[in-house]
Amino acid sequence: MLIALAWKNIWRSKRRSAIMIAAIASGLWGGLFAAGIFTGMYDSIVSTSIDRDLAHMQIHAPGFTEERLLSMALSGPDSIEQSARAVAGVTGVSPRTLVDGMASSAVTATGVRIVGLEPAKERAATAIAHRITEGSFFEGSGRLPVLVGKKLKEKLGLRLKGKLVLSFQRPDGTIMYSAFRVAGIFNTESTPFDGSTVMVRSSDLAELLGAHPVHEIAIRLATNDSLGSVQRKLAAAWPGVRVESWKDLAPELKLSAESADVTAAVFLGIILLALLFGVTNTMLMSVLDRVREFGMLMAVGMKRRRLFSMIMLETFLLSLTGSIAGTLLGALTLAWAGTAGIDLAWFSEGLTMYGMSAMLYPAVHAVLYPTLGAMVMAASFLAALYPAIKAVRLVPSAALSTFG
C-alpha cells in the first residue's frame, strides 16, 4: 500500500517529475554511451595488438624477452609446437625467428626487427595477412621476398618490388648483407610497428644465418576465456621455457583491459553524483509543497517512521523510473553502435600512434549493469535522506497552520 501511495504522490506534480525522470534518463544514457566509448577504445587497443603480432600467448627461452640475443633460441621447437597444437582451444601456432638488424635503401637506413616466419602458420596465428594493402603475403613471390610496413616504406622511400638491403649479425659474429625484394606492404593499427618491422620467410632467413633458430612461438586461441587454462597446461608440459600470455608480455594492455570497467564506473558515478543534487532538490520542493498534508497525516496518527519510509520510496521510485529508461536507451544505443561501429578515419593518424583501430565499436562489459544498479540505489538513498528528515521533523500543529 505504501508503495502505491508513493507512486501516486510522484505524479501529483506531473511536469516536475517528468522533467526529473527525463534528466536522469538522459544523464545515464549519455554516461553509458561515453562509458561504451572508453571501453571500446581499450578493447580495440588490446584486440588489435593480439591480431597484429602478439597473439594470445608466446613461448620463449628463459631471459629472451629481456636480452633478445640471437643465441637464446628454443630447444626442441618442433616438439613444443606439436604439443601446443594438441591443446584444446588453440587455433593457431606460429614459430618465429627474431633478429635485430638494419634496413637500407637508396634513400636512408634505419634499425628494424626482422621476423622470420612460415606464412601458412602465421595466417592462423595473427591477422597480419589481412593487413596487406599492396602486393601479397608471400604468395607468388620470387627469391628473398620481404614485407614492410607502410610507415617504413615511406621512411625508406620504398616501392613494391623495390630492393631493400637487410644487414644483421650471424651466430658466428660476422655481419651478413642481403638484398630482398619488397613483396608486400602492410598497414596495421600501430604506426610504431609499421615503422620498425620487416617480415621474411623463415627458410630464407635460416639460409642466410646458417642456422634455423626459433626464438618465439606465437599461439592463437579460439577465445580469450581459455587463456589461463592453456597457459597452465603448456607451462606444466614444458617447465624449461617461459609461457607468457599477452597480459604478461604487455602489462600496459592488461592495465587498459582491467581499468576499462573502473573508468566507466567512475564516470557514471560522477554523473549520478550530479543527478543526486537534482533529485534532492525535487524531493525537497515536494516536501515543502506538502507541509500541511504531512502535518495532517501525523495528526491523525501516521507514525514518523512510515512518513520517512514514504518519502524514501517516492525518491527511490522516481530515480528507478529514470534509471530504467536511461539504461534501456543506453543499452539499445550501444547495441546499435557496437554493430554498426563509429568511423574515426579523420583521426586515424593519431589513433595509430596508440595502436587503435579507426573503426570504433562501443560496448560495456555486462558486469557494469549490476554495478550501475547498486550505484543508483545508493544515490537514491542519499538523495532522499535530507527531504525525508525534513518531513519527519515537522511539528503537526505548526505544519497545519502553514498556508498552501
pLDDT in the model for residue 190: 86
What type of residue sits at position 116? G
Instruction: Please tell me whether residues 155 and 20 are part of one structural domain.
Output: no
pLDDT in the model for residue 402: 66
Instruction: Please tell me whether residues 193 and 290 are part of one structural domain.
Output: no
CA distance 124 to 129: 9
pLDDT in the model for residue 103: 96
Contact 375, 364 (CB under 8 A): no
Q: Whats the size of the chain, residue-wise?
A: 404
Contact 267, 34 (CB under 8 A): yes
CA distance 219 to 86: 12
CB count in 10 Å sphere of residue 307: 17
Instruction: Please tell me whether residues 212 and 309 are part of one structural domain.
Output: no
Print the domain residue range for 233. 62-240
pLDDT in the model for residue 336: 92
pLDDT in the model for residue 150: 92
Of 188, 215, 240, which residue constitutes the final position of a domain? 240
pLDDT in the model for residue 403: 54
pLDDT per position in the chain (404 positions), as tens?
678 877 887 788 888 888 888 888 888 888 888 888 888 888 888 888 898 889 999 999 999 988 888 999 999 999 999 999 999 999 999 999 999 999 999 899 999 999 999 999 999 999 999 999 999 999 877 789 999 999 999 999 999 999 999 999 998 889 999 999 999 999 988 888 999 999 999 999 999 998 999 999 999 999 888 999 999 999 999 998 999 999 898 888 777 777 777 888 888 888 888 888 888 888 888 777 777 877 787 777 778 888 888 888 888 888 888 888 988 998 999 999 888 887 776 766 666 666 667 678 888 888 788 888 888 888 888 888 888 888 878 777 776 776 55
pLDDT in the model for residue 196: 93
Of 194, 211, 240, which residue constitutes the final position of a domain? 240
Instruction: Please tell me whether residues 37 and 76 are part of one structural domain.
Output: no
Nearest in space to 61 (alpha carbons), one of 256, 168, 214: 214
CB count in 10 Å sphere of residue 195: 18
Residue 299 lies in a domain: yes
Instruction: Please tell me whether residues 97 and 127 are part of one structural domain.
Output: yes
Instruction: Please tell me whether residues 260 and 375 are part of one structural domain.
Output: yes
CA distance 310 to 316: 10
pLDDT in the model for residue 83: 93
Rounded to 5°, angle at Cα 221 from 147 and 137: 15
What type of residue sits at position 21? I
pLDDT in the model for residue 355: 63
pLDDT in the model for residue 352: 63
Residue 55 lies in a domain: no
Instruction: Please tell me whether residues 14 and 132 are part of one structural domain.
Output: no
Residue 294 lies in a domain: yes
Nearest in space to 101 (alpha carbons), one of 193, 198, 213: 198
Instruction: Please tell me whether residues 93 and 235 are part of one structural domain.
Output: yes
Residues 6+ positions from 288 with CB-CB distance below 8 Å: none
